[in-house]
Structure 1
Amino acid sequence: MDTPEYPKAKVFIIVEIIEYVPNSVVIKTIIKKTTGNVSAVSFDSGEMLTEKTSPFDTFIQVIDGKAEVVIDDVSNLLDTGQSIIIPAHCRNAIKANVRFKMISTMIKSGYEDLPV
């Protein structure tokens, strides 16, 4: 299923365009292109995105609450306003010890010449 982008040329407050849903992780696509995407994500307390790896760097910025971002078994606790870059090809998981919202930005370029 293709997720539509957020409307262009429309002013919005990022933290207000996504709601918390009990026992859920909610993802709202802001921009989706072949070269990358930007998403707003909300996590209810106790929820998580299971461990995975990505072939691309991912920029995470917490916009409400506190997040735990685990990169190659190293836990990073982020407060509102803090950010971290998850390097390409690193194992990572995102956990909500308390509910939080974040922006996730993945750039899908710069790795074209690297061996797989």
Structure 2
Amino acid sequence: MAKTTPVTGSSAHLDLAGALPVVPESTTSRVLVNNDLMRVVQFTFDAGEMLTEHSSPRAVVVQLVTGRMRFTVDGAEHTMGEGDIIYLAPGASHALVAETPCRMTLVMVDTAV
């Protein structure tokens, strides 16, 4: 489990491209913020990498930073490009396939707090 970061403390996460490069034939991730209100995770995917269908009890915002991917939400497929954002309601099923090497930021927000 990732180290908890206090809600009351600010933080900076710099040089993520250098610290979390796209690795050939891999999916990698790094938890940046993890507290009672939210969890922020940066992912990298090589072309062809995928996450199979799953869901989260939290509300989720996904932003594709670089690359292109197909992102499916509740059976509807969306082609995402750099800078695109998808919001997932709590419990929404979702999956993705990276069409090119990608960097994605995911923010999970606890709606129960």
Residue of structure 1 equivalent to 2:71? 69
The one-character-per-residue Cα deviations of 1:18-40 (angstroms, maximum 9, x if unpaired) are 21111111011110113220011
Runs (5+) with no aligned partner, structure 2: none
Question: In the alignment, residue 61 of structure 1 is paired with which amino acid?
Answer: Q
**Number of the residue aligned with 2:99:** 97
Structure 1 residues 56 and 43, CA gap change in structure 2 (3 angstroms)? same
Query: In the TM superposition, what are the counterparts of 1:5-84 in structure 2 within 5 Å?
Result: 9-10=11-12, 12-84=14-86
Question: Aligned partners of 1:54 and 1:10: how far apart in 2?
Answer: 26
Aligned letter for 2:42? A
Contact 1:35 1:108 in 2 (8 A): yes
What's the offset of the Cα at 1:81?
A: 0.9
Distance 1:22 1:57, change over 3 A: same
Aligned to 2:90: 88
Segments of structure 1 that go 5 or more residues without pairing to the other structure are none
Asked if the contact 1:15–1:63 (Cα under 8 Å) also holds between the matched residues in 2, the reply is no
Give 1:4 deviation, angstroms.
Answer: 3.7
CA drift at 1:3: 2.4
What is the TM-score normalised by the length of structure 2?
0.84
SS in 2 for 1:3: coil
C-alpha RMSD of matched pairs (Å): 2.1
1:106 deviation in Å?
Answer: 0.2
